[in-house]
Amino acid sequence: MEEAIKILRDNHYKVTKQRMDLIDFLSNYTENYVPISSVDDYMKSIYPGISNNTVYRNLKEFSDIGLVEYQEKNKTMIKFQCDFDQMHHHHFICSNCGKVIELKACPLSFFTDQLPGCVVESHAMEIYGLCPECAAKK
């Protein structure tokens, strides 16, 4: 929570009660993605008058400053940043339970070596499969 507040302030965002409640909710999702609609429903349960635009705008701003991560496979899922010390990282995502495991290495050089003369501007990588617990059940 302290790191999130610091990131908000460093990026010149006000630390409001609504943003703190949003961060508090999202902090429960560091190992799993949550549907954005669930985030919206939660915020509306606390702030009945809050608009969808306010929730979605804050999530977009949080994404822009690295507080949250969207799932590339389905842009309607979001989770709290799992590693503030390593903002750029990749994930393994369990296809069964949705558990997220952070990958420590980035394979970008493997691909850029195959792209002479190209300028890679961004990339994202997610690996899908079964986590150890779900694999053991099958």
Q: Is 134 annotated as a binding residue?
A: yes
Residues 4 and 67: beta-carbon distance below 8 Å: yes
Tokens of 59: 């999530």
Distance in angstroms (rounded) separating the CA atoms of residues 96 and 129: 8
User: Is 106 labelled a binding residue?
Assistant: no
The answer to whether 113 and 106 are in contact (CB under 8 A) is: no
Rounded CA-CA distance 128/104 in Å is 16
Q: What residue numbers does the annotated binding site cover?
A: 88, 94, 97, 123, 131, 134
Q: What residue numbers does the annotated binding site for Fe cation cover?
A: 88, 123
Q: What residue numbers does the annotated binding site for Zn(2+) cover?
A: 94, 97, 131, 134
